[in-house]
Structure 1
Amino acid sequence: MPASPTRKSAAPAPDPRPVVLVRGDFAVVAGSRCVACGYPGIEPVEACPVCRAQVSRAEFGPAGTVFAATILRIALPERPPPYGLAYVDLDGGPRILAHGYADRDTCRPLAPGDRVRLTGRTALGDPFVELEAPL
């Protein structure tokens, strides 16, 4: 009986989360911006995905506006529920998925239009935002 062929294990997929750089009491996201059209991105690219021009390194944040948010009540590996997620449009930058709450004690989610500040990463490395205090 012939031996079964050995399969090569596939290389692990790259981490899709943005690179979060902590700068004291706030954080920024590392990315790039097109030198021609200004398109911001967090994916490592050689050329702009919109116009194919050159890109330069950029940092985005820490402030942004919530586009959409929810509280997840489903257990995922290493993430006990409940936990808040929000899509955040970073000022002058891209939209990212981040963890955060309007009120962690009551699990009240952030709301579209809320102003937030990127403050760091969760224990698992996910971007984390906090509601900005009203002026």
Structure 2
Amino acid sequence: MTLANIALSSRRPIRDGLLQFDPPRLLGSHCKACDTRTFPPRDFCPACLRDGPHDVVPLGPNGTVFSYTVVHQAPGGRRTPYVLAYIDLDDAVRVLARIDAPGDDIQVGDKVELVLQEAGESEGVSLVGYAFVPSPLKSGAV
């Protein structure tokens, strides 16, 4: 089921404060002291070690594959194989995420973009997670 078919009131992120729906974005924190952005949002800055509060900011939806692996064995209930990757977002944040594409189609340096996907259901509410898909601007392989 696509997110377009799910009413906004009947869905929520898999974790509060993780993402926003419109426009689809991951949420991070921004340290004003050193200008570092992190994902997920944190109460401290891992770069300068300052305590928050830090601003919660939407992160850009585009990135580049830094590193990846194809997972062939996973906890029960997960379909395999799937691609798990470190993605360098265009705004200098590295995130760990699934890439929704066959492993043979992915290379380090590929351009990817954020998608929100249904991740399950809880008490009649659709839980929404995130993944990345190859961008039409896929070039950049090293």
TM-score, normalised to structure 1, is 0.70
Q: CA RMSD in A?
A: 2.8
The counterpart of 1:45, out of the listed 42, 46, 51, is: 42
* Superposed structure 1 runs of 4+ greater than 4 Å apart: none
Q: Please give the per-residue CA displacement for 1:40-96, whole angstroms capped at 9, x wherever unaligned.
A: 112443332322165211111200111011211113222121111111011114211
Instruction: Indicate the percent of aligned positions where both proteins have the same amino acid.
Output: 30
| AA of the residue aligned to 1:120 | L
Deviates more, 1:120-129 or 1:52-61: 120-129
Indicate how the Cα distance of structure 1 residues 133 and 86 shifts in structure 2: closer, same or farther if over 3 A, else same. Answer: same
Which runs of no fewer than 5 residues in structure 1 stay unpaired?
1-14
Partner of 2:6: none
TM-score, normalised to structure 2, is 0.67
- Is residue 2:3 matched to residue 1:23? no
Alpha-carbon deviation of 1:120?
Answer: 1.1
Tell me which structure has the larger Cα radius of gyration: 1
8 Å contact from structure 2 (residues 111, 135) kept in 1 = yes
Count of residue pairs brought into register by the alignment: 116
Higher share in helix = 2
Which runs of no fewer than 5 residues in structure 2 stay unpaired?
1-13, 121-127
